[in-house]
């Protein structure tokens, strides 16, 4: 299929924006077909992108365009959002936004709240501009990919897709120590503050 430009994508969006805004009230079959067309049109612009559309509020709807953590498609996300036309009642954002220190997620059989996990920063002189994290969980299972994804998803939800992808160079999980603070761990709710400190430290070296 021939690729389309950001401008062509937004032309399609503007042609369908009223139905997308009112999608909860149109025929369910038509709504499903419209969302499929949205996905298909976005894929014609960039095959590595996805989107999330919010529920309708008094301010309208929000759409978040994501590269699903794949840095190869970050430029596509940025270019698309930078070319957003004037859209009444639509808020358009690039990348999954940070939700802050107190979050809770569910992935497969795992449910994690940030307040129940702890992290230990890992330093590497070869990667001074990025960070490494050891995250202690109370129910650690060795080589459990679902558990690793669940914890990574929690971190991404806290600090946002962009910072999680560009800053997190190394990540692993371990059994939470009985006294994590005595072992040098910090409660995971402090991660956004640690990220801010790290970014300021990098800027200070420029």
Rounded Cα distance between 27 and 29, Å, is: 6
Query: How confident is the model over 102-117, as pLDDT tens digits?
Result: 999 999 999 999 999 9
Rounded Cα distance between 51 and 84, Å, is: 14
Give the distance from CA 136 to its chain's centroid: 21
Q: Is the pLDDT of residue 204 over 80?
A: no
Domain spans, the chain: 6-94, 104-205
Would you state the pLDDT for residue 106?
97
pTM of the full predicted structure?
0.88
Rounded Cα distance between 13 and 39, Å, is: 11
Would you state the pLDDT for residue 129?
87
Query: How confident is the model over 143-165, as pLDDT tens digits?
Result: 999 999 999 999 999 999 999 99
């Amino acid at each position: 299929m021939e690729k389309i430009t950001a401008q062509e994508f937004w032309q399609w969006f503007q042609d369908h924006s009223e139905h997308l805004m009112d999608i909860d009230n149109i025929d369910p079959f038509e709504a499903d077909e419209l969302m499929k067309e949205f996905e298909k049109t976005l894929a014609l612009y960039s095959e590595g992108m996805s989107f999330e559309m919010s529920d309708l509020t008094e301010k309208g709807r929000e759409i978040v365009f994501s590269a699903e953590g794949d840095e190869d498609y970050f430029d596509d996300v940025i270019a698309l959002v930078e070319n957003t036309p004037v859209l009444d009642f639509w808020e358009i954002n690039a990348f999954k936004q940070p939700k802050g220190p107190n979050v809770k997620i569910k992935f497969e059989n795992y449910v994690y709240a940030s307040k129940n996990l702890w992290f230990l920063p890992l330093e590497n002189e070869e990667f001074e501009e990025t960070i490494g994290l050891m995250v202690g969980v109370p129910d650690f299972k060795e080589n459990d990919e679902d558990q690793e994804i669940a914890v990574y998803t929690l971190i991404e939800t806290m600090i946002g897709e962009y910072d999680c992808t560009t800053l997190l160079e190394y990540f692993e999980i371990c059994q939470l120590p009985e006294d994590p603070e005595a072992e040098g761990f910090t409660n995971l709710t402090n991660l956004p503050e640690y990220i801010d400190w790290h970014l300021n430290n990098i800027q200070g070296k420029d």
